[in-house]
Amino acid sequence: MATKTKKTRVKYRIPQVVSLPNSFAKSVEGKYFLGQTEMLTLGNGKYSWGALINPLDSGVKLYANVFTVTNLSAEPFTAKIWLNASLPGEGETATKVSPSNTSIKPLPRPKVNLKYEESTKLLLTGGVNVFNREVPPLSTIVGEEDGKYIFSPGGSFALLLEKTSSGLAMARIAFGWWEEKI
């Protein structure tokens, strides 16, 4: 006589793990910002710069995530990346700045300032020029830093644009960053 065996079903639960880019998570939290300079002119002995400046009274740490430099000219130039440099003059405050998450009301406002100098004969001082990037003609370079450059109040992340050949070049600088309360 055959015996009936009962089949047992084993139910396995597979845990679901979701990995989100940090910049996305910061955007959802309303802490991620984007901005760009106005048109910059460099060459013939003049430089341009764009910078994220963390004011002394900001109460936040600045995490530089991404930068872009767009060369709208037919000749290359150099972008010099500086940490905690002293910027010559006051510079202009960029108006093309926004939180990346525009669904939050009221819109979050950055504590960090995006400033730029359209054209100057003065160079950055102090700080450290950590690396340079060549910007080919009619192109955009992108530096994805993933927030690894971190600045306390009083710090800055700056790009100085320099063209050594004759003639003028037109450019724009853009940044993506997030801020965390101290």
pLDDT in tens, 117-149: 999 999 999 999 999 999 999 999 999 998 999
Q: Does the N-terminal peptide bond of residue 137 adopt cis geometry, omega within 30 degrees of 0?
A: no
For residue 167, tell me if it sits in a domain. Answer: yes
pLDDT < 70 positions in the chain: 1-8
Residue 65 domain flag: yes
* Domain-embedded: residue 66: yes
Assigned domain for 23 exists: no
Q: Tell me how far CA of residue 63 lies from CA of 29, 118, 152, 154, in angstroms.
A: 15, 24, 9, 13
What pLDDT, on a 0 to 100 scale, did the predictor assign at position 5?
A: 63
CATH of the domain at 152: 2.60.120
Residue 6 located in a structural domain: no
Q: In b/e form, how buried is each residue of 155-180, taking b as 16+ CB within 10 angstroms?
A: bbbbbbbbbeeeeebebbbbbbbbbe
- Domain span at residue 152 reads 40-181
Q: Classify residue 4: in a domain, yes or no.
A: no
| Residue-level pLDDT at 12 | 82
Query: Could you give the number of structural domains in the chain?
Result: 1
pLDDT of residue 171: 98
Does 22 fall in a domain?
A: no
Confidence (pLDDT) at 25 = 95
Domain-embedded: residue 1: no
